[in-house]
Structure 1
Amino acid sequence: MKKKNYTVILCIMMILSLVGCSKSQKISDTNSNINILDNSYDEILKNAKGTTVNFYGYGGNEVMNKWFDTYVIPQMKEKYDIKVKRVGMNIDDIMNKLLSEKQAKSEEGVMDVVWINGENFKTAKENNLLFGAFTEKLPNFNDYIDKNSETINTDFGTSVNGLEAPWGKSEFVVIKDSGKVTQNIEDTETLKEAIIKNPGKFTYPALPDFEGSAFVRNVIYDIVGYENLINLPENEDEVRKVIQPAMDYLNEIKPYLWNKGETYPATIAQLDNMYSDGEVYFTMTYSPNTIKGKIDSNEYSKDTEIIAFDKGNISNTHFLTIPENAPNKEGAMVLINFLMSIDAQASKTDTSNWGDMTVLDMDKVPNEEKSKFSEAAEFGETLPELNAGLVPIIEKIWIEEVLQNGK
């Protein structure tokens, strides 16, 4: 997921309030009951039948959009008689809409399910924008998720407390064209050697781009050590002091970057295009399972290879939540439960569909079902994300120490 800015939409709620009639009344009646979470899952399923669920999330991933529209939406209708509407919206606009609805004391919004994680979940939790601890009501969460996993129980350092359900994983990796860059790269030092040997052929997106920010944090992990960052306070002076060796490293490689480090790609999409065109020999991604598909479609060189740092790569979980003012909370719970099912998880893991990494604990998946996940893989050691509050501080320091250095 991505980051923050404002747009407010007013008319939809008025229209919804006028629709009136059976199914809208049914949704209103079930959700006005403050004891929804006291219902059994079978009761929730029964009440959700025949309703509509509005799914809001980042709409810029066309591969994900196609998978959702051609697999999830038909499956939900066929299995549960639930109509799902996917609304692509920047997470910044989603958050600001939820915040403005809260400020206006809107009892009923338009969003039922929101794709969320990191800073945005922290903001939603702190501002009481979320429905409640619903995950324990979901059979697939109870059957297939590792409830003791740190990446399930925390989201960028924020305790989840059942307020959001996991539905996929991301692992950050750097990618190289091994036909052009033959040396083995296993840490920031060997990466620097490769960058110096291939001047102008490496760069990374300017922060706060999602992948660009992850690259900088991965450099910090490798140089400073994740263990020295876990308890770091959200204090700019303290953070600056601890991560300074990593900022020094980024300045050391800067003259050897594409365009001599004077400018950076604005987005990961721009960097990907540069890599596809051979303008640079490296790119990066939070979705390593998608690489094979890009090689097969000739978007990436057949010599494309993943770089896994010995100390580990950043990994995080993406989640789904239900807003406090969601009009169809029970339908939302059924959709989220389905998205954690073995079939849905296996489908999205397939690189020909989406290639998103599964969030299921494979030890909990029945042996006869495991073959569905044959393409699922992890790419080296993984490390959890930092406290969400540290991310914007690190981005600010990078802008001051690296981007603006020499200007």
Structure 2
Amino acid sequence: MRLCSLFLSLITLSANVFAQPANWNDLRQQANGQTVYFNAWGGDPAVNSYLDWAGVQVKEHYGITLKMVRLADAAEAVKRILNESAAGRKTSGSVDLLWVNGENFHALKRAGLLAEDWAETLPNWRYVDVQKPVREDFSQPVDGAEAPWGSAQLMLIGDKQRSTSFPRSAEALLTFAKEHPGKVSYPRPPDFTGTAFIEQLLIVLTDDPQALRQPPDPATFDKVTAPLWRYLDQLHPYLWRAGKAFPPTPARMDRMLADSELLLSVTFNPAHVDNLIARHQLPATARAFGFERGMLGNVHFVAIPANAKSKAAAMVVANFLMSPAAQIRKADPAVWGDPTILDAKLLPAPLNHQLAEHVPDSLEPVPFLAEPHAAWVAAIEKAWLTRYGSR
């Protein structure tokens, strides 16, 4: 009852702080009674539990039935949407709301298969932190075709009890590895976090960062990436197993850090360290940290296909996912620990304080660095595997 009362007070307060668009009530009336087929990655129990909770809330408060379609990869839903378009299915599509970003978003947007110009019309957009990359996805304009609902940032993990100071730059990381040979590594690309780590190094090392905003140009690729390969050639001999093998996943690195096999791990969730501490998998002296210039960050979005059957209800669900109530619950490490996309300064004091309570104690905030254009992912992975994959 206490949680229910808290949720109701959050909903009421957030609804009254800012005036809503004139057509919002009409949209809510259209949404009432609709079913939203929400296609989302289903690989994490905490995420699944959170979205089950969201389904209960939108049913209770908006009369919307949320049907979760749990995916191993968003590409499954993208392929279905593309096939429906090829078959001429312009309405009543099988997907109403899709957790999507990066390459899959670009594929659908280029094909004209997403509803556009709706995200910033939602009432809860007023709370969004526009200093985060909420208007672009892998360097491509969103154009209102996606609504943000969470953020992530690449971070390194260390233990203050075992490391008197943490490396705050690529150059300092190289020095740290030389001082502690065999105690540093990163996940083997194409692991998502491993590739993100390579992108992070490329961003801070390249002499031409603007080139990363566009797809790789074969004519300049070698020049743009040369500082990265020079750096890795220097770094690898000092890594775990002399850079001839790499941990397969960040989870494996977490265990190696806990066992003192490594001094650093890596994560794409700044709250991850608090989760590990709470589960007694890392000591309370563990910390998430990053480079002073910033760390690669991104935002995860939900999109509405152009042929969605329940567009009104999908918009209401997207608005709910951006609400202070939903964001506060999602940010709680005991629930999920997914960082918010809201600007706490825009919230009234009670909500501001609720959100602040879920900022991870172990986190040392660093600036966001925007991701390169999506096409760099495949290009970087291929080049890395060519150079280091067979060693």
- Check if 1:191 corresponds to 2:177: no
1:152 corresponds, among 112, 125, 134, to 134
User: Which deviates the most, 225-234 or 286-295?
Assistant: 225-234
In 2, are the aligned partners of 1:73 and 1:83 still within 8 Å (CA)?
yes
Distance 1:228 1:75, change over 3 A: same
Aligned to 1:333: 315
1:49 corresponds, among 32, 50, 54, to 32
- Distance (whole Å) between structure 1 residues aligned to residue 42 and residue 218 of structure 2: 33
2:82 corresponds, among 99, 109, 119, to 99
Instruction: Write out aligned runs for 1:7-406 (5 A).
Output: 40-69=23-52, 71-89=53-71, 90-107=73-90, 108-141=92-125, 143-146=126-129, 149=131, 151-224=133-206, 227-231=209-213, 233-374=215-356, 375-376=358-359, 379-404=365-390
Shift in Å at residue 265 of structure 1?
2.6
- Distance (whole Å) between structure 2 residues aligned to residue 397 and residue 256 of structure 1: 21
Name the Cα RMSD after superposition.
2.2
Shift in Å at residue 239 of structure 1?
2.3
SS of the equivalent of 2:54 reads: helix
Distance 1:379 1:228, change over 3 A: same
Distance 1:129 1:272, change over 3 A: farther
SS of the equivalent of 1:288 reads: coil
- Distance (whole Å) between structure 2 residues aligned to residue 212 and residue 92 of structure 1: 20
Q: Output the amino acid matched with 2:32.
A: K
SS of the equivalent of 2:85 reads: helix
**Identical aligned residues as a percent:** 33
In 2, are the aligned partners of 1:56 and 1:111 still within 8 Å (CA)?
yes
Deviation by residue 1:235-293 (Cα, 9 ceiling, x = unmatched): 13412211211112112222222233222233333333433444322211111123112
SS of the equivalent of 1:42 reads: helix
TM-score (norm 1): 0.83
Q: Output the amino acid matched with 2:353.
A: S
In 1, are the aligned partners of 2:151 and 2:338 still within 8 Å (CA)?
yes
Distance 1:386 1:47, change over 3 A: same
- Distance (whole Å) between structure 1 residues aligned to residue 163 and residue 242 of structure 2: 19
TM-score (norm 2): 0.87
Shift in Å at residue 208 of structure 1?
2.1
In 2, are the aligned partners of 1:234 and 1:389 still within 8 Å (CA)?
yes
Distance 1:76 1:286, change over 3 A: same
- Distance (whole Å) between structure 2 residues aligned to residue 80 and residue 309 of structure 1: 43
In 2, are the aligned partners of 1:181 and 1:194 still within 8 Å (CA)?
no
SS of the equivalent of 1:167 reads: strand
Aligned to 1:12: none
- Distance (whole Å) between structure 2 residues aligned to residue 48 and residue 276 of structure 1: 48
- Distance (whole Å) between structure 1 residues aligned to residue 113 and residue 34 of structure 2: 23
Aligned residue pairs: how many? Answer: 365
- Distance (whole Å) between structure 1 residues aligned to residue 326 and residue 213 of structure 2: 36
| 5+ residue gaps, structure 2 | 1-20
Distance 1:78 1:296, change over 3 A: same
